[in-house]
Amino acid sequence: MKENMLPYNKPNINWSEIESWDRKYYLHNTQAQNEYVFFPIEAVDKNYLYLPDGKRLLDFQSQLVSDNMGHRNQRVHDEIKMAMERYGHIFFGLCSDYRAKAAKLLINDIIGNENWAGRVRILSSGTEAVENAMSMARLYRGASTILTQELSYHGLVPGATQLDGYRGNLTKDTFSNESHDVPGFPDKRYVNIPAPEYSDYINKGILPSLKETEKIIKHIGSSNIAGIITETMFGGASYMPHTDYLKGIYDLCKKHNILWILDDVLCGFGRLGEWFSYQIEKNIYPDLLITGKGLNGCALPVGAIITSREIGEFFDKARWWSGSTHDAHPLVCASIVGNIESMIENDIIKTTRTKGKYLHNKLLELKYKHPCIGRISGRGMYYSVDMVDLNGEPIIKDDRKTRFTGNLSNNPNNIFANFCIENGLFAGGFMPNTIKAAPPLTISIDEIDFAIDIMNKAFTYIEEKFH
Ligand SMILES: Cc1ncc(COP(=O)(O)O)c(C=O)c1O
């Protein structure tokens, strides 16, 4: 791409100076300093990331399956700019028009017809929403235990970490195969239930994971359990559970009178082809719905909790001493308003379904060509593709149970990602054998075709390396 075609004015930045400051002062996560890869991005726009050398990358994973409406979405940015004419920050004891508008859009306009949702609280991140939802469930139920799925991901701070398979563990040096949990893990108030079966599991009767979950509920006693927190399509572990699972969890919660806390931070706002992931099934509604990411497409840091009517009424009567300086920040609320209005105006859920089907078919075509492609699972605009050896087994044996030790640059996901980056595509994932295809919902068919062409070549490269 020529510089004069850039969608921004080229800034005068000394990138080698920036690199030296970044390397010297910033505390990088997930990489040790000796393996840290400096990856500068000069600007983002629509579905692309722009590098200082003038190249651009098509973002095929929406960053962390988060930037749903493309980068610097015009409508969202206009709304934030307008809000900045009147607002900076005000605290939660005061109300901006944007806070009330965002709440009305969420509770009334999007899901009002379902008649289950009571209130919404807007926060600064998905993790913060998860943490608050745990407290709300415990206060409402008067019980402390939270059941949480193996392999799930809900954030990486000490509380949310207790919910995760990927639990803030530390590998002390890059040559070590040892990994250490944050001390205090596991907290007995969090109990693992089995991870759901994969989408291609051949099921006869009740899923084994659900049978085992019911045993655990009976063993602990439902009066001691506040709720079960679940992901629908897993974000960290990147797979879509078996179709019997979601309804099965809901039924268990109802049968045993425990709360269903649905963490829809990643799957909400069109990602799975619905506003929210529980809508995949008919007539099942969560007690607490946690959202973030797609709520404003990450134009600003965001998270939120939507309560059922009953839980809303419980907190209506109460004086709950909770809050953060950044609760319902007016600029964040403006970004939510801009994002939801633009999703409604552009009928994004419907177009996501059509374009998502196209993407899924293209991925299935790749599977016929490539023996290194195993399971493909997903829905809407989020698919995961597992890479396998010649026997159809995971190339890296730990697979989704990885503790991120050893030389990660040899893992298929990273080799795949680097090949794609060399060829103008930003695609990959954290699991060693799995890549995500989760572009912004604003992706065009031509852009999907471009990505599939690069992925086709990348899978050939994986076969050359591992088969
Ligand atoms: C399902 C799920 N829950 C919670 C979180 C944490 O959200 P945040 O990163 O906004 O704190 C994430 C982030 O990836 C997620 O995927």
Identify the CATH number of the domain in which residue 427 sits.
3.90.1150.10
Whether 420 and 276 share a structural domain: no
**Ligand 1 site-directed mutation target among 266, 290, 336, most atoms within 8 Å of CB:** 266
Whether 34 and 137 share a structural domain: no
Which tokens belong to 194?
Answer: 């089995």
Cα(434)–Cα(403) distance, integer angstroms: 15
Strand partners, 148: 192, 229
Last residue of a domain, one of 345, 367, 385: 345
Residue 225 CB partners (closer than 8 Å, separation 6+):
141, 143, 145, 146, 147, 217, 256, 258
Last residue of a domain, one of 317, 345, 373: 345
Last residue of a domain, one of 345, 378, 397: 345
Q: Scanning the structure block, which residue is given the tokens 């209130």?
A: 119
Whether 230 and 310 share a structural domain: yes
Whether 120 and 185 share a structural domain: yes
Cβ atoms < 10 Å from Cβ of 216 = 16
- pLDDT by residue for the chain (467 residues), tens only, comes to 555 589 999 999 999 999 999 999 999 998 999 999 999 999 999 999 999 999 999 999 999 999 999 999 999 999 999 999 999 999 999 999 999 999 999 999 999 999 999 999 999 999 999 999 999 999 999 999 999 999 999 998 888 888 877 777 888 888 788 888 888 888 889 999 999 999 999 988 999 999 999 999 999 999 999 999 999 999 999 999 999 999 999 999 999 999 999 999 999 999 999 999 999 999 999 999 999 999 999 999 999 999 999 999 999 999 999 999 999 999 999 999 999 999 999 999 999 999 999 999 999 999 999 999 999 999 999 999 999 999 999 999 999 999 888 889 999 999 999 999 999 999 999 999 999 999 999 999 999 999 999 999 999 999 999 99
What residues are in contact with ligand 1 under a 6 Å CB criterion? 64, 125-127, 130, 153-155, 231, 235, 263, 265-266, 292, 303
Segments forming the whole domain that contains residue 170: 74-345
Calculate the CA 339 to chain-centre distance.
17
Whether 333 and 255 share a structural domain: yes
DSSP string, 85-142: TT-S---TTS--HHHHHHHHIIIIIITGGG--EEEEEEES-HHHHHHHHHHHHHHHHT
The pair phi, psi for residue 374, each rounded to 5°, is -100, -115
| Whole-number pLDDT of residue 160 | 82
Whether 384 and 285 share a structural domain: no
Whether 166 and 245 share a structural domain: yes
Give the position, in ligand 1's atom list, of the atom nearest the Cα of 155. Answer: 6
Whether 83 and 65 share a structural domain: no
Angle (CA) 461-462-466 rounded to 5° is 125
| Whole-number pLDDT of residue 1 | 55
- CATH number of 242's domain: 3.40.640.10
| Whole-number pLDDT of residue 185 | 81
Cβ atoms < 10 Å from Cβ of 109 = 13
Nearest residue by C-alpha to atom 8 in ligand 1: 126
Whether 292 and 152 share a structural domain: yes
Number of domains the chain contains: 2
- The answer to whether 424 touches 334, Cβ cutoff 8 Å, is no
Whether 50 and 175 share a structural domain: no
Whether 336 and 374 share a structural domain: no
| Whole-number pLDDT of residue 4 | 54
- Burial of 2 (C-beta count, 10 Å sphere; 0-12/13-18/19+): exposed
Cα(156)–Cα(311) distance, integer angstroms: 26
Whether 329 and 353 share a structural domain: no
Calculate the CA 336 to chain-centre distance.
17
Residue 187 CB partners (closer than 8 Å, separation 6+):
162
Nearest residue by C-alpha to atom 2 in ligand 1: 154
Element (H, E) at 19: helix 15-25
The pTM (predicted TM-score) of the whole model is: 0.96
